Structure 1
Amino acid sequence: MKYRDSSQRLDINCLLHQLINVDPTDSAPKKSEPDINCLLDELINLHPINLAQKKSGLDINRLLHTLQQIKRYCEFKPNCRLTQFEKRYLCLCLHGYSGREIAFIYDENRLPKKEELIQYKDKLDARIRNLQKEASKGLNKYLKLLLGLEESANKPRNGELIKILKEKGYGINSGQKKKTSFIRVNRE
């Protein structure tokens, strides 16, 4: 199955073609091409990844790949992947949406109007606290490791996070690919 273009970016037409032409009995053996669930996962994440990449100037696919490696290291599971939530939440943050906007997008699956953000302020504030709590379980931990921050430190705000990631070589126009390193976590 070929679902990437020559520059190794996801190609939505290739993904759709693969999904349309998959037999119901198709399933991929381990360590082979992705099965239909993997293709659907890639398709669902394609849009937020592209938007976040365009807005932030970061190589989101490379960042997600690195975070996935960190997750595998932290969880002691060589085959685990970033969840839909982790990918989507990171992309929405890196796109520059506010906490309330992110909460609204999760609840309504669309961008809010300004009056909706005001009207549902209390509900959205409670929802974003839940989303941030969910992110702190995994995504924020992996980001802190990538950035070399202690586990007790706060994750940088989104604007600062983008700046730091660009300095670490995750910018789209970063000619040099810096070697990724992260601090070891003490497991007790």
Structure 2
Amino acid sequence: DWTRTRFLTGATLAWQPTEGGYTFEAAIPWSALDIEQPTAAMQFGLEVGRGVGGNSFMDLTGRDPDVPANLLTLMLAEPGMDAAASLTPQVSLDIRLNDGDAYIVPETVSPDSDFFWLDLVTLESIRLNEGENTIRYRYAGEASENPGISKIDAFYLQPVTARSVFSTPDGGTITLTYNTLTGEATWTESPAQ
């Protein structure tokens, strides 16, 4: 119960093994959602996620769960109702480097933002001009009454090939390189001059 910061009272969870996973069912009391009288067309937000790796949480909506507007929108429907209003729009970013073309990045893998998460912008390497470079970004998702919110903490530029040179006690050097695209690593020793 996020509102009261405690385990939910009165909820029941059941699961059944299936091929390759489980089917989960949850019975949640209306009072836990602060709903006294449920009615058709009522909308509310729900967060659904799963534990990852024992110490992390992945939100299954693909949106940042720490922003209330990003909760999965659910609408109570009755037979014959148009449920289109209950759709949750996708959140995407339009990212541009200098005056280049846009990269559209769907934010579909966002975990709980208590952890640092990186979304890959390009599959291909890019070459930066010497000097100042400008990154521009803007919302590029679907427009609606609840278009979603995107939080950007930082942009991280990573070299295609990382290289470190270490000096040895006898005056030689050891050069380590790591290609971040191929995973290839090299180790080169040079004797003292």
TM above 0.5, one fold?
no
Q: Structure 1 length as normaliser, TM-score?
A: 0.24
Structure with greater proportional helix content = 1
Relative contact order higher in (CA < 8 Å, ≥ 6 apart): 1
Q: Structure 2 length as normaliser, TM-score?
A: 0.23
Structure with greater proportional strand content = 2
Q: Which has the larger radius of gyration?
A: 2
